[in-house]
């Protein structure tokens, strides 16, 4: 076992929640408002529901191979060479790419809103150094850190919501369903993909949970909490700033934080609020990078994983700069990325489960016959 860490179900819930919020909190409200306008909140709810609906798929797949991560049981299902190949491809195309994207998110946010003259590579490198430290320490320390940070995250978030609520204008969500359900669903599907389909990567973590029977429940609550945060932020953005402004802003959550003004005294605290997304992006990025590194090591059947962290880190930095030549590129990629996420996060696990079921039947038969043989020949 590369990493002998054990995590509790509560830690799993927390990390899933933080992961969901992750980098989505920065850009999702804008996207939803662009397509669903004032019904963005309905979209958000629908997406959360859909995200939860696919949970059973992951649980079923995870339970088929207890004690093994996705990278490992991929080989069991597809055979050694195909399994390794698909596993490496999956890791590169999904967690590793998402890690690059998350890193780029925080870098872009910093250079757009806070420190425009700083070269983006500097931010990436410094952020990644902390991520690498976390990954090298192992899963348990990461989870424990998440556990410690989580209450603060909740506190900051709740304060954020409370402070901004006096500025709510309820008429901003009227008229409801003006365009009918079509735009709402339309906006919802890509939102479901990003971030909810990304939950598939948690299949790499299942074996570490100390109570495997409660994994499903942990995931469920994690998605609910994370989804709730995203829903609330989207709702707040539309309620306070209106759908048009929300759609136009690239980082509506930050603009929302700028508006906080209580009693002429509690103002200009958006920097403090930005700490929220620092936490969430950090944990999302750390988890994704951890998964990428561990998965890579498992696919190649290596006995150690820590030495991979720095070289892969260099590649990640290059990738994170490469991944988007400018901000407009991602606007166009939104739907295509969502489809990609659905393919790797939904279709692939479903396929794997199907193949596993077919094979399982055959294997079960063979196991049953050998078990019955043993029974009839006891050793004494």
Partner 1 sequence: MWSSLAMIAVAAAILKLEAPYLKKRQLTKELRVFYFLLLSGTILSIAMLMNVELPNPMRLVHAVYKPLSDWYTSVLK
Partner 2 sequence: MKHFRVIGRKGVGAVKRKAALLICVLLVFIAGCWSRRELNDLAIAVGFGIDRSGEQYEVSVQVVDPGEVATKRPGSQRSPVTMYHAKGKTVFEAIRRMTTVTPRKVYFSQLRMFIIGDELAREGIREGLDFLSRDHELRTDFYIAVAKDLTAKEILSFYTPLEKIPASKMHNSLDVSDKSWGPTAAMKLDELIKDLVSDGKEAVLTGITILGDPEEGTKRKNVQMIDSPAFLKYSGIGVFQEDKLVGWLNERESKGYSNITDTLKSTIINAPCPEGGRVGIEVIHSKSKMKGKVRNGKPEAEVEIRTEANIGEVECKLDLTKEKTINRLEQEFEKIIQQNAEQAIKKAKSLEADIFGFGEAIHRSNPRYWNTIKNDWRRQFVDLPVHIKVDVKIRHMGTVSSPFFNQLKE
Q: Is 329 in the site for partner 1 (CB under 8 A)?
A: yes
What one-character DSSP code corresponds to residue 174?
P
User: What are the residues whose beta carbons fall under 8 Å from the beta carbon of 198, sequence distance 6 or more?
Assistant: 19, 94, 98, 341, 345
Please report how close the Cβ of residue 326 comes to partner 2 at its closest, in angstroms.
5
- Over the window 325 to 364, marking each residue x when it contacts partner 2 by CB under 8 A and - when it does not, the resulting string is xxxxx-xx--------------------------------
Please report how close the Cβ of residue 331 comes to partner 1 at its closest, in angstroms.
12
Q: Is 312 in the site for partner 1 (CB under 8 A)?
A: yes
Q: Is 370 in the site for partner 1 (CB under 8 A)?
A: no
Q: Which stretch binds partner 1 (CB under 8 A): 12-20, 43-51, 146-154, 308-316?
A: 308-316
Q: Which does 50 bind (CB under 5 to 8 A by kind): partner 2, partner 1, none?
A: none
Classified as helix, coil or strand, 266 is strand
Q: Which of 1, 4, 81, 117 binds partner 2 (CB under 8 A)?
A: 117
* Number of Cβ within a 10 Å radius of residue 114: 13
Q: Is 326 in the site for partner 1 (CB under 8 A)?
A: no
Q: Which stretch binds partner 2 (CB under 8 A): 6-14, 41-49, 88-96, 111-119?
A: 111-119
Please report how close the Cβ of residue 14 comes to partner 1 at its closest, in angstroms.
30
* Number of Cβ within a 10 Å radius of residue 134: 22
Q: Which of 54, 98, 229, 249 binds partner 2 (CB under 8 A)?
A: 249
296 vs 87: CA distance, rounded Å: 8
Buried b (16+ CB within 10 A) or exposed e, 280-301: bbbbbbbbbbbbbbbbbbbbee
Residues 69-98 that bind partner 1 (CB under 8 A): 93, 97
233: closest CA among 248, 251, 208?
251
- Over the window 30 to 49, marking each residue x when it contacts partner 2 by CB under 8 A and - when it does not, the resulting string is x-------------------
Q: How many residues does the chain have?
A: 380
What is the maximum span of the chain, computed from C-alpha positions, in angstroms? 85
DSSP string, 103-120: HHHHHHHIIIII-TTS-H
- What residues line the site for partner 2 (CB under 8 A)? 30, 108, 111-113, 116-117, 119, 244, 248-251, 254-255, 325-329, 331-332
């Amino acid at each position: 076992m590369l990493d002998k860490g054990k995590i509790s179900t509560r830690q799993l819930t927390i990390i899933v929640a933080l992961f969901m919020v992750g980098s989505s909190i920065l850009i999702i409200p804008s996207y939803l408002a662009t397509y669903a306008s004032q019904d963005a909140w309905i979209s958000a709810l629908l997406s959360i529901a859909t995200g939860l609906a696919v949970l059973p798929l992951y649980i079923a797949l995870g339970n088929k191979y207890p004690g093994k991560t996705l990278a490992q049981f991929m080989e069991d299902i597809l055979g050694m060479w195909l399994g390794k190949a698909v596993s490496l491809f999956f890791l590169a195309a999904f967690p590793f790419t998402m890690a690059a994207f998350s890193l780029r998110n925080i870098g872009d946010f910093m250079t757009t809103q806070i420190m425009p003259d700083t070269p983006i590579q500097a931010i990436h490198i410094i952020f990644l150094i902390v991520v690498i430290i976390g990954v090298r320490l192992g899963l348990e320390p990461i989870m424990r850190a998440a556990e410690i940070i989580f209450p603060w995250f909740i506190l900051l978030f709740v304060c954020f919501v409370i402070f901004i609520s006096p500025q709510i204008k309820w008429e901003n969500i009227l008229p409801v369903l003006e365009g009918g359900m079509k735009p709402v669903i339309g906006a919802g599907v890509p939102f479901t993909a990003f971030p909810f389909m990304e939950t598939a990567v948690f299949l790499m973590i299942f074996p570490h949970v100390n109570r495997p029977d409660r994994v499903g429940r942990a995931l469920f609550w994690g998605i609910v909490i994370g989804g709730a945060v995203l829903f609330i932020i989207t709702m707040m953005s539309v309620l306070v700033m209106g759908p048009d402004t929300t759609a136009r802003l690239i980082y509506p959550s930050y603009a929302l934080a700028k508006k906080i003004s209580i009693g002429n005294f509690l103002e200009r605290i958006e920097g403090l609020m930005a700490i929220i997304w620092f936490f969430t992006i950090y944990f999302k990025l750390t988890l994704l990078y951890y998964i990428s590194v561990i998965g890579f090591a498992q696919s190649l059947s290596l006995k150690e994983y820590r030495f991979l962290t720095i070289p892969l880190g260099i590649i990640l930095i290059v990738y994170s700069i490469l991944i988007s030549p400018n901000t407009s590129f991602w606007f166009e990629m939104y739907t295509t990325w969502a489809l990609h996420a659905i393919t790797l996060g939904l279709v692939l696990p479903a396929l794997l489960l199907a193949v596993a079921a077919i094979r399982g039947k055959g294997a079960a038969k063979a196991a049953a016959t050998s078990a019955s043989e043993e029974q009839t020949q006891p050793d004494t």
